[in-house]
Amino acid sequence: MSSDAPSIAPRQRGFKLWDAPTRLTHWALVGLIGFSWWSASTGHMDWHRWSGYSVLALITFRLIWGVVGSQSARFSQFVKGPRTVLAYARTLGDRTPSSTPGHNPVGALSVLALLAAIVTQVVTGLFSVDIDGLESGPLADRVSFETGRQFAQWHDWSFTAIQALVLAHVAAVVFYLVYKRSNLIRPMVTGRRRLDADPQLAFAPPWLALLIALVAAALTYWVMKGLRF
């Protein structure tokens, strides 16, 4: 055989990347944040309040899952130091599809920023009071009216931050799809991604996800009751 024969690239196979709890939490947050915006802008404050409680439960679950859940969902798996982030950033101009199994080092910063903005949005909502004092969060009685109004302002600002981060996130997904030829949406729907080799990730058992979900629900109920038993 001639030594000039073209080499054959390894055939990619689909491997499990994202577990069901991670995917369900991701898409539920997408839907609820949109619903929270709609319910507030149309004056359906009862729905807005319940949507906020649901977001609180989901974000609590995701934060705990990011510590003890499946390997690909753990912060320790995808959050990297500045040197690694800069090294990866230098490869963004390369059109070669990304080979990082989960969140890449730059994408991890986007994930952390979104989680921080959502946490801020939820926490500020818990203490917020409207201008007439008719609508308020379950913890608004722990602060003065003036402080509650300040929390309401921070609540608005944090949502603006979420909007900006979502736009940046969508732009990054489009960039990877069009320029880097990497579909980041499909794996978050199916849980599987085509890779050259098995990333050999460890996945947490379903009972652990159920236990954390119960803990998140209990903590949310406690907050709903104003941190009173």
The CA distance from 221 to 229, in Å, is: 10
What pLDDT is stored for residue 99 in this prediction? 75
Any idea where the domains of the chain sit in the sequence? 15-190+202-224
Over the stretch 20-62, which tens digit does the pLDDT of each residue have?
999 999 999 999 999 999 999 999 999 999 999 999 999 999 9
The reported pLDDT for the residue numbered 58 is 98
Residue 51: phi and psi, rounded to 5, are -65, -40
The low-confidence residues of the chain, meaning pLDDT below 50, are 1-9
Q: What is the pLDDT of residue 8?
A: 38
For residue 135, the model assigns a pLDDT of: 86
pLDDT value at position 66?
A: 97
pLDDT of residue 11: 57
Superfamily of domain covering 15-190+202-224: Transmembrane di-heme cytochromes, Chain C (1.20.950.20)
